[in-house]
Amino acid sequence: MKRIMWLGILAIILLVLALRTAQGHMLNPFDSFHGFGTWFAALLTLAIMSFLYNDNPVYRFAEHLFVGVSAAYWMVMGFWSTLVPNLFGKLWPSLTAKLFIPGIADQPRDPLWFLYFIPLVFGILLLLRLAPKGGYLSRWALALILGTTAGLRLIAFLTADFMGQIRATLNSVAGYVHPSLPGGTGVFSFEQMFWDVVSVIAIMAALSYFYFSKEHKGNFGRFSRVGIWVLMITFGAGFGYTVMGRIALLVGRVEFLLVDWLHVL
């Protein structure tokens, strides 16, 4: 009975869609490639949304298609945007210009072009992970990736996130920011100073919660409890913003279905 009801609803929807298409209110999927593509995109959207009711074969089809297409998409983008101009173009410029990107021919050759054999070799080593033997060699490439990431991050987080944030905290309690500095109005304000002091106390309280070398008892315990409240406020704000973001994405999809596909708006 339930199945018949669902089939009935589906038949009515299909009939309405067919009528609207026949009357020219919607793009005809058989008229143009764009029309076909828009229908396919709309059906794919609905297929994925069907997961909200239950896991089903239509959803799984869409999901698996998405995985395959996206993996290839990234691979192709990596190939054309980085491997060709920055690796092949450096090692074999004239051949790359002839076969792939003519614009490379205008580039003066890098005097240290032979250094690019290093990423070529390391790239091949990375791919050895797929080979049945010699997979351990891929660790060499992994080591280079990790070394670079660690080196870059160590400095970036130390300067921008650690020292930068401490400096900004210390600078902010004066209730006055010189107009030449970012965000500076040049006007002293008691209200601003009050909020700055509140903010500094809140930062200290939140940091005290993460300080585990001292037992959270007595005054310190009370202060770290304030820190928990600050963190809860932070998470609450984060949740509110997360909801906002997710809803915006849904609105975007609904607009696609109503405007681009159904043409009802």
Q: Give just the sign of the alpha carbon dihedral 205, 210, 215, 221.
A: positive
| Residues 9, 14, 15, 21, Cα dihedral to 10° | 150
Going residue by residue from 195 to 224, which x/- string records binding to another protein, judged by CB under 8 A?
A: x--xxx-xx--xx-xx--------------
At residue 39, φ and ψ (nearest 5 deg) are: -65, -45
Q: Tell which one of 9, 12, 152, 187 touches another protein (CB under 8 A).
A: 152
CA dist 224 and 240 (Å) reads 24
Q: Tell which one of 118, 173, 174, 187 touches another protein (CB under 8 A).
A: 118
Q: Tell which one of 28, 31, 64, 178 touches another protein (CB under 8 A).
A: 64
Is 42 a binding residue for another protein by CB under 8 A? The answer is yes
CB 62 within 8 A of CB 48: yes
Tell which positions 228-247 bind another protein, by CB under 8 A. 228-247
Q: Which is nearer to another protein, 8 or 82 (CB)?
A: 82
Q: Which is nearer to another protein, 13 or 72 (CB)?
A: 72
- Min dist. Cβ of residue 215 to another protein (A): 19
Using CB under 8 A, count the residues that bind another protein: 142
- Min dist. Cβ of residue 203 to another protein (A): 5
Going residue by residue from 10 to 29, which x/- string records binding to another protein, judged by CB under 8 A?
A: --------------------
Question: Among candidates 223, 241, 221, which has minimal Cα distance to 233?
Answer: 241
- Give the Cα-Cα-Cα angle 75, 118, 153 (nearest 5 degrees): 70
At residue 213, φ and ψ (nearest 5 deg) are: -80, -10
